[in-house]
Amino acid sequence: MDRRHALKVLGAAAALPSLAPTDGDKAPDPAATQGPAWTGPAGTPSDPNLVTPRVWWPRKLLDGELVTLAALCDTIIPADGHSPSASAVGVPGYIDEWASAPYDDNRESLVKLRGGLAWLNTESERRFGRPFARLGESERNQIADDVCYEPKAKPEFKGPAQFFDMVRDLTATGFYTTHEGMKDLKYIGNVPLQRWDGPPPEVLKHLGLL
């Protein structure tokens, strides 16, 4: 991260001096995000190989940021009796890939995401003396409740609420487009059928088609 980008992140977060990087804050190896080797057609960004997909740009979130993001994603969609948590199906990696994309209309997304994660840890340290990922469920929810709805957020939480809104949308998108998320919704598309009987007569009658 260059100096200009670092200053933008700190400005977005209104970060305190206590946000010194930890030993875990090292950039992930870009080679580790590229997926297994592909021996068939190379594919291009406009015509990607969907059999063995690859990311065409390095993911930029640091390890420590991914830990915080995973905790936030799991606060938004935790595991329950019939589906796993958001982080268990790879949602933080999806958000990292999205925010790291080198598109002109996406250049501020990484700054906004990093700034929000920095704020989250600052607020967590201020309230509970621990980073967000080390909080219990009720403590995380206390912070989330203050930023989960921007129209009703207090003035000091307006910016963080916009960050939370972005992550909530991305978390839901990432989770509910996985096999586990579609199963959680009881979505039955993309399943081969032995026969197709069409809409039942009462539906056709209601629509005036009978």
pLDDT at 173: 97
pTM of the model: 0.70
Whether the predicted pLDDT of 194 surpasses 80: yes
Which pLDDT band holds residue 184 (cuts at 50, 70, 90)?
A: very high
For range 185-208, the mean pLDDT: 87
Segment among 50-59, 105-114, 155-164 with least mean pLDDT: 50-59
Enter the tokens of residue 187: 């979505």
pLDDT at 50: 73
The model's pLDDT over 55-105, given as tens digits with 9 standing for 90+, comes to 778 999 999 999 999 999 999 999 999 899 999 999 999 999 999 998 877
Which pLDDT band holds residue 140 (cuts at 50, 70, 90)?
A: very high
Of 133, 106, 107, 170, whose CA–CA distance to 25 is shortest? 133
CB 181 within 8 Å of CB 175: yes
CB 106 within 8 Å of CB 66: no
Which pLDDT band holds residue 195 (cuts at 50, 70, 90)?
A: confident
Of 83, 65, 107, whose CA–CA distance to 172 is shortest? 83
Where do we find the tokens 């799991």? 74
pLDDT at 39: 56
Question: What is the full DSSP assignment across 100-161?
Answer: H---GGGTTHHHHHHHHHHHHHHHHHHHHSS-GGGS-HHHHHHHHHHHS-GGGS-GGGHHHH
For range 187-206, the mean pLDDT: 87
Give the Cα separation of 6 and 111 in Å (integer).
9
